[in-house]
Amino acid sequence: MTAVTLTKPDDWHLHLRDGDAMKSIVGMSAAQMGRAIIMPNLSPPVKNSVQAKAYREEIMRALPKATSFNPLMVLYLTDRTTKAEIVEASNTQEVYAAKLYPAGATTNSENGVTNLNSIYPALESMEKEGMPLLVHGEATDSNIDIFDREAVFIDTTLSKVIKDFPELKIVLEHITTKDAVDFIVESEKNIAATITPHHLLANRNHMLVGGVKPHYYCLPILKRQYPHQDSLITAATSGNPKFFLGTDSAPHDQHQKESACGCAGIFSAHAAIELYAEAFDRNNSIEKLEGFSSIFGPDFYDLPHNTEKITLEKTTWKVQDSYEFANTTVVPFFAGLNLSWRLLT
């Protein structure tokens, strides 16, 4: 096969940042994706529909007027999110979901949820309104090993939320383990997961063998090839509609990654669909890409499929070493490495 044409994909988990940083990178997602679920972990976070609308307007102002890109906004849940805020958000045209960050789990999660019970009123409203809960699924107790945090979260927290809110739509974001894959496969159809390109294409050896490579550091952290990376590849390419595209592209300034205490986050918006094509093709499953990238996500969110198409051509090209990012640079995933599919523009 030398080319594939797909329904235009959507990114169901994207960090666009704000201000000049956002202006530097938003065009890359807009060039590839029809829609994107925009993460609310700004500083300060996007906590209500007024803030979500203002953030969406800022994003739209940074794009050409004629863009077809549609940012779908998300509320950041805190211990103080009210039922009224959920109902108000669900009645807007702009807000599509709310996000649970356990406090301290990741970048800008300090204002996240410290006690699950405090968001029960919000979850009750979300279940009633049909608003999906997006979950950063990692336990945060300091004694839990960083490589076990996803599995422990599933056992202790996610299972409880599902039991207490059986009709709530839930997306377990950026899954990284066989434990998560098995859990999703066995759960009801209102429970789904996104998978990132970096968790399909890399494992902890990429980050740690031959020296610490900060540009491979993200949360949840890269796991072992076997069984975790392998089972993510199997899930993504299986055609099971519970698994769909969410890049978790999370740009940080190069110096903040290459530091004594480097930030978590991998930037992949520069080549999102090409990275997924690489992962699917390496597994001889390029024909399974369209369902994962363009069909299962909108079906889960009850939204129409995009009508535009994109074409990927089989041709080798090298990812550049860095991109401009506000007044500094960001190092992209696969910097200096070859990819074997390229999006035709």
Alpha-carbon Rg for the chain, nearest whole angstrom, is 19
79: buried, middle or exposed (CB in 10 Å: 19+, 13-18, 0-12)?
middle
Residue 290 near Zn ion by CB under 5 A = no
Task: Please select the residue that binds ligand NCD; options are 106, 194, 229, 237, rule is CB under 6 A.
Answer: 106
* Least distance from Zn ion to the Cβ atom of residue 15, Å: 6
Residue 202 near ligand NCD by CB under 6 A = no
Residue 278 near Zn ion by CB under 5 A = no
Residue 295 binds which one of ligand NCD, Zn ion, none, with CB within 5 to 8 A depending on kind?
none
How many Å apart are CA 192 and CA 171, to the nearest integer?
Answer: 5
CB closer to ligand NCD, 250 vs 330: 250
Spatial contact of 297 and 10, defined as CB atoms under 8 Å apart: yes
- Amino acid at position 150, single letter: E
Residue 194 near ligand NCD by CB under 6 A = no
How many Å apart are CA 207 and CA 224, to the nearest integer?
Answer: 11
CA-CA-CA-CA torsion sign (212, 39, 275, 200): positive
Q: Is 179 one of the catalytic residues? A: no
Looking only at residues 218 through 257 of this chain, which bind Zn ion when binding is defined by CB under 5 A?
248
How many Å apart are CA 240 and CA 98, to the nearest integer?
Answer: 24
CB closer to ligand NCD, 41 vs 190: 41
Per-position x/- string for 224-263, each x denoting binding to ligand NCD as judged by CB under 6 A, each - no binding:
------------------------x-x-------------
In terms of C-beta distances under 8 Å and separation of at least 24 residues, what long-range contacts does 52-55 make, across chains too? Answer: 52/89, 52/92, 52/94, 52/95, 53/92, 53/94, 55/18
CB closer to ligand NCD, 214 vs 227: 214
Q: Which of 11, 179, 248, 281 is catalytic?
A: 248
Is residue 131 helix, strand or coil? coil
Task: Please select the residue that binds ligand NCD; options are 218, 245, 269, 319, rule is CB under 6 A.
Answer: 218
Residue 70 near ligand NCD by CB under 6 A = no
Q: Which residues are identified as catalytic?
A: 248
